[in-house]
Every structure is written in C-alpha cells, then in structure tokens.
C-alpha cells in the first residue's frame, strides 16, 4: 500500500525547456496530460 503523504509515489514528467523532472501537483489533477512545463518561467520561455 502506498503512503498517502510520500511524494516519491507521485507521477512525474520532464520539463521541455529546462529538462528537469517535476512532480504532479494537486492543481494539475484535471489537466496532468496537458502539463508540459515545470513552471510559469519555463512556459514563458518556450
């Protein structure tokens, strides 16, 4: 069983701009498939 508070079990992706991994956030729950950038700064500098 997964620990609900443990972040190592969250899905992650690689940012298309900076190539760094970033983890799932609750605010992205409905649009996780569309998320491509780790931050607003990377999204602006695409």
End-to-end CA gap in the chain = 38
Q: HSE-up of 38 (CA within 13 Å, CB side)?
A: 12
* pLDDT band at residue 12 under the 50/70/90 scheme: very high
30 within some domain: yes
28 within some domain: yes
How confident is the model over 24-32, as a mean pLDDT?
93
In this prediction, residue 4 carries a pLDDT of 64
Q: What is the mean pLDDT of the chain?
A: 88
27 within some domain: yes
1 within some domain: no
Report how many domains make up the chain: 1
pTM for the complete prediction?
Answer: 0.73
How confident is the model over 29-34, as a mean pLDDT?
94
7 within some domain: no
Structural domain that includes position 30: 12-45
- On the question of pLDDT at 34 being above 80, the answer is yes
């Amino acid at each position: 069983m997964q620990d609900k508070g443990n972040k190592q079990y969250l899905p992650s992706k690689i940012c298309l701009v900076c190539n760094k991994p970033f983890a799932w956030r609750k605010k992205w729950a409905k649009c996780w498939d569309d998320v491509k950038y780790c931050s607003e700064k990377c999204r602006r500098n695409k």
